[in-house]
Amino acid sequence: MNKTGADIILETLAREGVEVVFGYPGTNCLPILDRMSDSPIKHYLVRHEQAAAHAADGYARATGKTGVCLSTSGPGATNMVTGIATAYMDSTPLVALTAQVTSDLLGSDAFQETDIIGITMPITKHSFLISRVEKIESKLQEAFEIARSGRPGPVVVDLPIDVVTAQYEGTVKKKPTFAKKKAARGREIETKVREIARRLNEAERPIIMIGGGIKLADACMPVSELIEKGRLPFVTTMMGIGSVHSPNGFNLGFIGTHGSELANRAVHQADFILAVGTRFSDRSTSKIEQFAPLATIAQIDIDATSIGKNIKSDIALVADIAEAVRGLTPLIEKKQRSAWMDRIATERAQIEEKHLSNGFGQVASFIGAVQGIMGEDAIAVADVGLNQIWTLRSWRSNTPRGLLTSGGMGTMGFSLPAAMGATVGSPDRAVIVFTGDGGFFMNIQELATISYYNLPVKVIVFNNGHLGMIRQFQDLFYDARFNACKLGDKADITAIGQGFGIPSEKVTLADAITAIERMKQAAGPYLLEVFVDPDNYVYPIIPPGGSNIEMIYGRPK
Amino acid sequence: MLVRNRSGVLSRVAGVFGRLGYNIESLCVAETINSRISRITLVSRANADFTDKIKKHLDRLVDVIEVTELKQEHSIQRETILMAVTLTPDNRRDVMQAVDMYGCKIVSIRDDYCIIENVANRGETQTILNYFKPLGIEELARTGLIALRQIQQDAGEEQ
């Protein structure tokens, strides 16, 4: 029987362990879809290609596997751009398959033609335009290899329809050889690790800084062991939340613009910081000149460009984090460092007092109640904005894949489709979306997807009738000159949810428990519209241009 | 840089410079002995910090095999230029003398016009261009530098 390019695509996907594809068809896509009907790979039809990319991204973040999305050419492909950029900024392993017009027509402005490779060059790790059917298998394999190796990232594979429908006789079974990028190995790691161990043991006020990279490197366990052995207090970045669960209270929270004050103050006073799997984004460091002014910084990362990019690291090690940390832990001494630990405890107590006098308590209690009822194992997917910060600060994540959010790109509308991907990938864990009304409307059409497939996604919409964070910024830093931040209340979110076939109800922060119980009992999707006062902001925050320790609790004087 | 000879690789390399906001002054690319590998020789102006940064970014590209900075002292560098120079009764003698002096080659000539070829390193090329400019260069084509690491004369010799 003659195989076509489409057959090879499906076979290769199956061999790479792909079980689901999120996509949206178009005519140039049909040959692939046709073969997919006969394969074990399941296609989830979304309602907008951007959601296909976000769903594949959410799937990857929840499972650690490579997410796959499929769109047609032209507008289908361009619709995925935001989703691909989101995955790129957070280093998610993703393979985006885009159908393409027939090779002869390339460059002729054909119907639904676009140079998606050109468009996505700056936001992909790599991309392939497959020009011959014999090349499909090797290029597709290489795409997956690139997506998940080293620092993961999205890869676009553009598939012209003539290549996909061409017949192919050969049996290319040998794995293509890729020139592996050089990361530090053996002896070089040893030397640097010994240096790091020496400095860490000598340090009086050390902090471990954990980024999203350690879960990508499967290094959560080794880092956790390092922390417990050395009795080392640690902070995380937004992307690192949940990576290490410390029963001994070494977790000081996440740092940065919207982070925990304790974490920021501890970093500010540290004399040695070991940073693993983080790129020191501006969100984490705030004003660079005033970031960790007293600390010697050691950095371990698989990606050389992340080292010394924003912060000059005194010791730099380009290596696999798991390997490096496993070599480091035996050299670390268990130290009491009581002066440092006491200082941290004092700061913690002072900050807690400050928090008690804040109106933030209600939202925090609500989120806590949701977690209490839905279970520790539930995955929270946060959108972007006030809702995101409330969630990040209140949701207790003890697993690296328990709290998903768009950190690097800050893409509104990410949460709903990403949650779809998360629940498809982790059907045994509850999945809860926390979003504001702004982000909710951006991919609202996915309520139809959720409803159609009966995906048990629990959607919580914090409705304050505004783009909350914009409102806060305009209120605090633009003399309350509000513009383009009010969404209004004409749209009835609960009615909309019901209109999509999803049981929905309105609640207030104060009176939500029974509704949350109903949400938990529901076998399928559920939506809670939670009314929040638009004056309910996020505190403390760092004003624009401020340093990590200049957190404010109210309007600047 | 040594790169895999695949479509798009040049775009990506140029893209890295563009994204970081730096200008490529010249770029020369061709296949090596192995037709699957190409050599790109690229000149850009930058300080040490940036050079380090750009090397890392280029190295990260999937199709880039190797990136090396070639300093003038440690490499053989050459550039071919073709100059179309107008010939007038006034400048004819000066042009011929210059060609002689610098060892250039006239590869095409007419009454009023000639094309002069020269191969030299960066400094010499610039000297020649400076000299010919007032004489009247109509058109100029440059390949940009190509370079190979200089051969070490002695095993123990310091580079």
Q: Report pLDDT for A63.
A: 97
Sign of CA dihedral A529, A535, A536, A538: positive
- Contact assessment for residue A436 and residue A504, using Cβ atoms and an 8 Å cutoff: no
Please write the tens of the pLDDT for every residue from A511-540. 999 999 999 999 999 999 999 999 999 988
Please write the tens of the pLDDT for every residue from A112-148. 999 999 999 999 999 999 999 999 999 999 999 999 9
Q: Report pLDDT for A403.
A: 96
Q: Report pLDDT for A398.
A: 85
CATH code of the domain in which A100 resides: 3.40.50.970
Check A181 against B59: CB less than 8 A apart.
yes
Residue A294, chain B, CB below 8 Å: the answer is: no
Q: Report pLDDT for A389.
A: 95
Q: Report pLDDT for A180.
A: 54
Check A179 against B53: CB less than 8 A apart.
no
Closest CA relative to residue A380, chosen from A441, A442, A460: A460
The predicted model gives B131-156 an average pLDDT of 90
User: Look-up: residue for tokens 């490499």?
Assistant: B75
Q: What is the mean pLDDT of chain A?
A: 93
Structural domain contains residue A536: no
The predicted model gives A56-66 an average pLDDT of 98
- Distance (Å, whole) CA A416 – CA A137: 33
The predicted model gives A64-91 an average pLDDT of 98
Task: Give B62's contacts in chain A (Cβ within 8 Å).
Answer: 125-126, 146
Whether B119 has a pLDDT exceeding 60, the answer reads yes
Output b/e per residue, B14-46; b: 16+ Cβ within 10 A: ebbbeeeeeeeeebbbeeeeeeeebbbbbbeee
Query: Count of CB contacts below 8 A, A vs B?
Result: 30
Phi, psi of A260 (to 5 degrees): -90, 140
Show the beta-strand stretches assigned E in B32-136: 37-44, 64-66, 75-86, 105-110, 113-120
SS3 content of chain B, % helix, strand, coil (to 5): 35, 35, 30
The predicted model gives A98-108 an average pLDDT of 96
Please write the tens of the pLDDT for every residue from A321-379. 999 999 999 999 999 999 999 999 999 999 888 776 555 688 999 999 999 999 989 99
CATH code of the domain in which A220 resides: 3.40.50.1220
- DSSP annotation of A550 reads -
Residues of chain B with CATH 3.30.70.260: 2-69
Residues 36-55 in B contacting A (C-alpha not used; CB under 8 Å): 52-53
Domain with A219, as residue range(s), is: 186-351
Question: What's the CATH number of domain B2-69, 1.20.1440.230, 3.40.50.1370, 3.30.70.260, 3.10.20.90?
Answer: 3.30.70.260
Q: Report pLDDT for A198.
A: 96
- In three-state form (DSSP H/G/I as H, E/B as E, the rest C), the secondary structure along A63-97 is HCCCEEEEECCCHHHHHCHHHHHHHHHCCCCEEEE
> How close B42 gets to chain A, by Cα (Å)?
20
CATH number of B75-147: 3.30.70.1150
- Distance (Å, whole) CA A415 – CA A348: 32
Strand-pairing partners, residue A193, are none
pTM across the whole model: 0.94
Same domain, A367 and A346: no
Q: Which residue of A has its CA nearest to B65?
A: A179
- Distance (Å, whole) CA A141 – CA A138: 5
Residue B60, SS3?
A: helix
Same domain, A203 and A163: no
Q: Report pLDDT for A189.
A: 87
- Distance (Å, whole) CA A66 – CA A89: 16
Whether A397 has a pLDDT exceeding 50, the answer reads yes
Residue B8 has which token pair?
């798009």
- Distance (Å, whole) CA A347 – CA A359: 21
Q: Give ipTM to 2 decimals.
A: 0.87
Please write the tens of the pLDDT for every residue from A155-187. 999 999 999 999 987 765 555 555 555 555 677
Structural Rg of chain B based on CA atoms = 19
Q: Report pLDDT for B159.
A: 44
Please write the tens of the pLDDT for every residue from B23-75. 999 999 999 999 999 999 999 988 888 888 999 999 999 999 999 999 999 99
Structural domain contains residue A241: yes
- Distance (Å, whole) CA A4 – CA B144: 45
Same domain, A490 and A511: yes
- Distance (Å, whole) CA A350 – CA A3: 69
